[in-house]
Chain A
């Protein structure tokens, strides 16, 4: 709810530059143009505020009639009498799948970024950066289709192996047979999807590391890895963090890929290899068609939670970037 208040645009200050003193028509032109462009800016703020306000409004309508506790109920039955629904399963599933995705994607993305910026031969690096750029544009439904048809059968073997040798960790214990349409697969697929984004941002930060820092380290006899550890990674740390959070934002809100791959159920289970669970976005896509108007309001309520979570994550990422800019001066 706190976000709703922050969306109100601050009153426009008297900050615009005074128009040049010339003939009347051009002043009018200036005023119109300034009005148009400022109006567009304000329109953006209004849209953001409207998203928060209307989602909250519909969500409140839904939650008011909800007989279950919205935050802790692990059941989704808004069509029932009385209606009972809650986001516990969805919150759990969203967080688990995103965490798996981050654990896999961040180190690999840093690796690829380092590969492109420091390790790959120049001839390979430029086209590679280009390809990574293109991969970021592949639509998520295609990742989903590929994941469901190719990744799932491939991961069956890995699942069995993990169950056999790592089953004692409980997390990797597979309680029954069944294809790998589980949270673990979803996490891996999300990791593949957010790799290009994290890689892109991280690579750009790595390329901004002052040459002098690296050359100084090399001149002191550091190996390439020591150079990276002592000059590149410290310089790029905030960039890595913010890139990861951008990727996290993407993973949290990913809909279609999860909806296609996961076989959902409303159970909270720590066993990653058992099919089941759900995420906010996946649940909306899956339940939307069968929902009546009240059911849609319930889905909107869960969407509002997702909205707030991604807002917080992205806001934090931007804040880290902004703070970085202030003291580094590298990209002023």
Chain B
């Protein structure tokens, strides 16, 4: 083989010498120009055909862009480059496609929510407010959500963290394998199924009525696997040398875990717990089944129906009058702000207290 190649080389090299090493490239502004052209064409076609939906205009523009890019690049460069450019533009299209609805969602929630959000809205319940009336507020719902989520966190966080400690520090063998697998599976349990489970046991079999606590139990089931996962990841990041050093000094294992391992990972664990709290705060389905909702302020989570923010959004939307829908948006903004603040604080803690393992 090598013999053949050696023979041919002198023949091919002179032949290639004439052609330039770099072949023709498109100028850097070409994609932008094609984009502008196709958007203009898309709008033009849309206007000409009289289509109402802007979505169609966008789709046509995107389609034109991809086709034009392929054709022009094939002509100027070659088909491999053309494919590359088409892939690039498809990736950009995906990005835009995703950004549009998500940006719209954020914008609509914030702008609509701000219309009704004021101190009165945050400090009053719906007691005596008629559906079509403006006014009323989310105080009872906010109170309910905070209580339910706090109880859920008190149940789920210790169990979740201890389970993670078991998996990382003690677990070997079949029990820990089973726990690992079922924690994964539990992550995927739909929230409504968790609600149905508490409904079947707590309400239908034990005969309790709807209460904030019943909702909390369902939320705790949803929260546990998330806490286990994140705590586990964080504990795994703690360098083994720390454990070994502590054990070598004669410190018992439980004290090593409490005084060395946990303090090292505490930032990440806090983050994980807060993200889990943020996740369950927005859960509506179990609350709908178990907490039931009320217009009144009920500060006792252990007795009687309570309100809850996500449930409030759902109820007010279902009422359907203009005033009620406006209230739904206001509550949605409060809810999203609550969740986002939790998220941002959690991530702040993660960055601030990140274990210094030099990863």
Residue of B nearest to A308 (CB): B193
B190 A281 Cβ-Cβ under 8 A: yes
B83 A37 Cβ-Cβ under 8 A: no
Number of A-B contacts (CB under 8 A): 313
B84 A226 Cβ-Cβ under 8 A: yes
Q: In whole angstroms, how far apart are the Cα atoms of A128 and B178 in the complex? A: 36
Answer whether residue A288 sits at the interface, using C-beta atoms and an 8 A cutoff.
yes
Answer whether residue B105 sits at the interface, using C-beta atoms and an 8 A cutoff.
yes
Question: Known interface pairs A54-B200, A139-B336. Does A256 touch B284 (Cβ–Cβ under 8 Å)?
Answer: yes
A223 B80 Cβ-Cβ under 8 A: yes
Answer whether residue A150 sits at the interface, using C-beta atoms and an 8 A cutoff.
yes
Answer whether residue A158 sits at the interface, using C-beta atoms and an 8 A cutoff.
yes
Q: In whole angstroms, how far apart are the Cα atoms of A57 and B199 in the complex? A: 13
Q: In whole angstroms, how far apart are the Cα atoms of A15 and B328 in the complex? A: 53
Offer 12 A-B interface pairs, CB within 8 angstroms, sorted by A. Answer: A34-B170, A39-B162, A43-B159, A43-B163, A50-B201, A151-B101, A192-B98, A224-B84, A253-B193, A284-B285, A299-B196, A314-B184
Q: Identify which of B31-39, B49-57, B118-126, B128-136 touches chain A.
A: B49-57
Interface residues of B (CB under 8 A from A): 51-56, 80-81, 83-84, 86-88, 90-95, 97-98, 101-102, 104-105, 108-109, 158-160, 162-163, 165-167, 169-176, 178-179, 181-194, 196-197, 199-201, 204-205, 221, 224-225, 228, 247, 250, 252-255, 257-258, 275, 278-279, 281-285, 288-289, 310, 313-314, 317, 325, 328-329, 332, 335-336, 339-340, 343, 347
A64 CB, nearest partner CB in chain B, Å:
15
In the assembled complex, which residues on chain A have CB atoms less than 8 Å from the CB atom of B183? 44
Q: In whole angstroms, how far apart are the Cα atoms of A158 and B191 in the complex? A: 32
A288 B289 Cβ-Cβ under 8 A: yes
B253 A30 Cβ-Cβ under 8 A: yes
Residue of B nearest to A39 (CB): B162
Name the one of A48, A112, A253 contacting B95, with C-beta atoms under 8 angstroms: A112
In the assembled complex, which residues on chain A have CB atoms less than 8 Å from the CB atom of B200? 54-55, 57-58, 300
Name the one of A9, A44, A256 contacting B228, with C-beta atoms under 8 angstroms: A44
Residue of A nearest to B329 (CB): A145
In the assembled complex, which residues on chain A have CB atoms less than 8 Å from the CB atom of B178? 9-10, 45
Please tell me the size bucket of the interface on A. 35 or more
B109 A146 Cβ-Cβ under 8 A: yes
- What mask results when residues 141 to 163 of chain A are scored 1 for a CB within 8 Å of chain B, else 0? 11111101111001111101100
Q: In whole angstroms, how far apart are the Cα atoms of A260 and B317 in the complex? A: 8
B141 CB, nearest partner CB in chain A, Å:
12
In the assembled complex, which residues on chain B have CB atoms less than 8 Å from the CB atom of A195? 98, 102
A115 B167 Cβ-Cβ under 8 A: no
Question: Known interface pairs A37-B165, A137-B278, A314-B187. Does A145 touch B204 (Cβ–Cβ under 8 Å)?
Answer: no
Q: In whole angstroms, how far apart are the Cα atoms of A305 and B144 in the complex? A: 31
In the assembled complex, which residues on chain B have CB atoms less than 8 Å from the CB atom of A22? 250, 252
Answer whether residue A80 sits at the interface, using C-beta atoms and an 8 A cutoff.
no
Interface residues of A (CB under 8 A from B): 7, 9-13, 15-17, 19-20, 22, 26-27, 29-30, 32-34, 36-45, 47-48, 50-51, 54-55, 57-58, 107-112, 114-115, 119-120, 130, 133-135, 137-146, 148-151, 154-158, 160-161, 192, 195, 199, 223-226, 228, 246, 249-250, 252-256, 259-260, 281, 284-285, 288, 293, 296-297, 299-300, 303, 306-307, 310-311, 313-315, 317-318
B83 A225 Cβ-Cβ under 8 A: yes
In the assembled complex, which residues on chain A have CB atoms less than 8 Å from the CB atom of B98? 108-109, 112, 192, 195, 199
Name the one of A19, A155, A158, A226 contacting B252, with C-beta atoms under 8 angstroms: A19
Question: Known interface pairs A19-B253, A111-B93. Does A142 touch B335 (Cβ–Cβ under 8 Å)?
Answer: yes
In the assembled complex, which residues on chain B have CB atoms less than 8 Å from the CB atom of A144? 314, 317
Question: Known interface pairs A115-B91, A150-B108. Does A45 touch B179 (Cβ–Cβ under 8 Å)?
Answer: yes
Name the one of A9, A11, A137, A252 contacting B190, with C-beta atoms under 8 angstroms: A252
Question: Known interface pairs A224-B84, A284-B196. Does A17 touch B317 (Cβ–Cβ under 8 Å)?
Answer: no
Q: In whole angstroms, how far apart are the Cα atoms of A119 and B53 in the complex? A: 30
Name the one of A225, A255, A318 contacting B192, with C-beta atoms under 8 angstroms: A255
B79 CB, nearest partner CB in chain A, Å:
11
In the assembled complex, which residues on chain B have CB atoms less than 8 Å from the CB atom of A137? 275, 278-279, 282, 339-340, 343
Question: Known interface pairs A145-B332, A255-B285. Does A246 touch B188 (Cβ–Cβ under 8 Å)?
Answer: yes
Residue of B nearest to A48 (CB): B182
Q: In whole angstroms, how far apart are the Cα atoms of A199 and B99 in the complex? A: 13
A256 B314 Cβ-Cβ under 8 A: yes
A36 CB, nearest partner CB in chain B, Å:
6
Residue of A nearest to B201 (CB): A54
Q: In whole angstroms, how far apart are the Cα atoms of A149 and B289 in the complex? A: 24
In the assembled complex, which residues on chain B have CB atoms less than 8 Å from the CB atom of A285? 192, 285, 288-289
B254 A29 Cβ-Cβ under 8 A: yes
B282 A225 Cβ-Cβ under 8 A: no
In the assembled complex, which residues on chain B have CB atoms less than 8 Å from the CB atom of A255? 190-192, 284-285
Q: In whole angstroms, how far apart are the Cα atoms of A216 and B152 in the complex? A: 51
A35 CB, nearest partner CB in chain B, Å:
10
Name the one of A36, A259, A284, A314 contacting B188, with C-beta atoms under 8 angstroms: A314
* Most chain B beta-carbon neighbours within 10 Å: one of A22, A37, A109, A119: A37
B339 A138 Cβ-Cβ under 8 A: yes
Question: Known interface pairs A10-B178, A139-B282. Does A146 touch B253 (Cβ–Cβ under 8 Å)?
Answer: no
Name the one of B193, B250, B313 contacting A310, with C-beta atoms under 8 angstroms: B193
B254 A114 Cβ-Cβ under 8 A: no
B104 A41 Cβ-Cβ under 8 A: no
B285 A108 Cβ-Cβ under 8 A: no
A256 B56 Cβ-Cβ under 8 A: no
Q: In whole angstroms, how far apart are the Cα atoms of A210 and B224 in the complex? A: 33
Name the one of B162, B185, B192 contacting A37, with C-beta atoms under 8 angstroms: B162
* Most chain B beta-carbon neighbours within 10 Å: one of A22, A141, A303: A141
B165 CB, nearest partner CB in chain A, Å:
5
Q: In whole angstroms, how far apart are the Cα atoms of A223 and B77 in the complex? A: 12
In the assembled complex, which residues on chain B have CB atoms less than 8 Å from the CB atom of A50? 197, 201
